[in-house]
Amino acid sequence: MAQHKPKPTENSPAARFGEFFRAEHREIRDALLALLAAFEARNRRRAKTLLGTIGGLCGPHFRYEEEALYPALVEIFGKLYIEHLLLEHDRAIISAFRLMKLAEKKPFEAADARLAVRIVRSVLPHVSDCEGLSIMVEVLPETVVQEIVEARERARKDDLDLVDWATEVRKRPFLLTYQRELRAALRQHSDV
């Protein structure tokens, strides 16, 4: 069971984890907010660039969360909440495909921009929800935190973007409804 420590000491694995975890969420947050602005301005070129940036940031981040962080938190939250976090990843991956497709659309109408903005907004809460997990990481045993840190290093070394990781490495089956949505999004994406 988790050790109950009120505050991680400086340089402890939990303190280091908290620092890089927050820095990564800040980068993802800023890129998503910039994407929101790009879609609002109907700037497809900027949206496409930002989608590439976001895919690069989220690939390794989602990967170590799913391979090490989320499983380590089951003992605290229970399986149901962890399933919710994984579902949010499913949704974010599908949203990325849908946004890539939308960013290719010509002409890019006001209705497309509104839809894109809605999709970007739908993934934003996961960024802040996920950031909040670090308060729980503080009570995990140091060895477990160290394993999360190592999983992060491996994911960053592989450096697969979100699409490559989600389609080639990620083993989690999408729920049936999402599976259909994902296939449709992938099909649309390859039609572009």
Min CB(100)–Fe ion separation in Å: 20
8 within 8 A of 15, measured Cβ to Cβ: yes
Region binding Fe ion by CB under 5 A among candidate stretches 43-51, 65-73, 95-103, 134-142: 65-73
- Residues binding Fe ion: number (CB under 5 A): 2
Residue closer to Fe ion by CB (options 112, 138) is 138
| Nearest 10 degrees: Cα torsion 127, 178, 112, 126 | -10
Residue 67 in the binding site for Fe ion (CB under 5 A): no
Min CB(81)–Fe ion separation in Å: 12
The alpha carbon dihedral of 23, 54, 47, 128 has a sign of negative
Residue 65 in the binding site for Fe ion (CB under 5 A): yes
84-115: burial string, b at 16+ Cβ within 10 Å, e else:
ebbebbbbbbbbbbbbbbbbeeeebeeebbeb
Residue 130 in the binding site for Fe ion (CB under 5 A): yes
Closest alpha carbon to 179 in 190, 166, 192, 169: 166
Residue in the shown chain whose Cβ atom is closest to Fe ion? 130
Residue closer to Fe ion by CB (options 40, 161) is 161
CA distance 88 to 81: 11
Region binding Fe ion by CB under 5 A among candidate stretches 71-79, 122-130, 137-145, 175-183: 122-130
Residue closer to Fe ion by CB (options 44, 63) is 63
Binding site for Fe ion (CB under 5 A): 65, 130
